[in-house]
Amino acid sequence: MKKIAIVTCARYRDCGGGKCFRALRERRGGFARYAAEEAVEVVGFSNCGGCPGGNVENVPAEFLKNGAQVVHLATGLVVGYPPCPRIRGFKAFIESRYGLPVVVGTHPIPLKYMEAHRALPFWEQAGMAEIASHLMAESREVMEAYN
Ligand code: SF4
């Protein structure tokens, strides 16, 4: 049993989480790392609290109390316009302060966002290929299915 927690971007605070939970069921995107036969429980779900992400400072403590073993930064932090400028900092902070490994991504990158970002400088500026390469390597068919 793997216990995970998810931090979303507060710009999408009203999101119902449909793509994230679907991707967890289908083991796609950031959840492709978990085998289909491995049970995964979501023990925490929160947003960053809004720029500059103050909730990231404390919410992992609650995740830990609920047994979280991994934190996923939602794909919205990667695909937003612009992407979250603090995503690297969030990952480094949570891993260092709380000892929780951080995975960048939840659901696959929807194809329309992938195509839009190819024409924009944001991902290159943020070094996104380095921390989200597993999302960018997903097949076109899967990305299209998450449009
Ligand atoms: S861009 Fe980053 S800091 Fe700002 S609301 Fe989104 S996740 Fe939070």
Q: What is the pLDDT of residue 29?
A: 98
Comparing C-alpha atoms, which of 37, 40, 61, 11 is closest to residue 106? 40
CA of 15 to the centre of ligand 1 (A): 14
**Full domain range(s) for residue 33:** 2-145
Q: What is the pLDDT of residue 104?
A: 98
Counting atoms of ligand 1 from 1, which one is nearest the CA of 11?
5
What sign for the dihedral angle of Cα 134, 130, 48, 40? positive
Q: What is the pTM of this model?
A: 0.97
Q: What is the pLDDT of residue 62?
A: 98
CA of 9 to the centre of ligand 1 (A): 5
Q: Give me the CATH number covering residue 30.
A: 3.40.50
Domain count, the chain: 1
- Residues in the chain with pLDDT < 50? none
Per DSSP, 147 falls in state: -
pLDDT, tens digit, for every residue of 72-112? 999 999 999 999 999 999 999 999 999 999 999 999 999 99
Q: What is the pLDDT of residue 37?
A: 96
Fill in the amino acid letter for 15: C
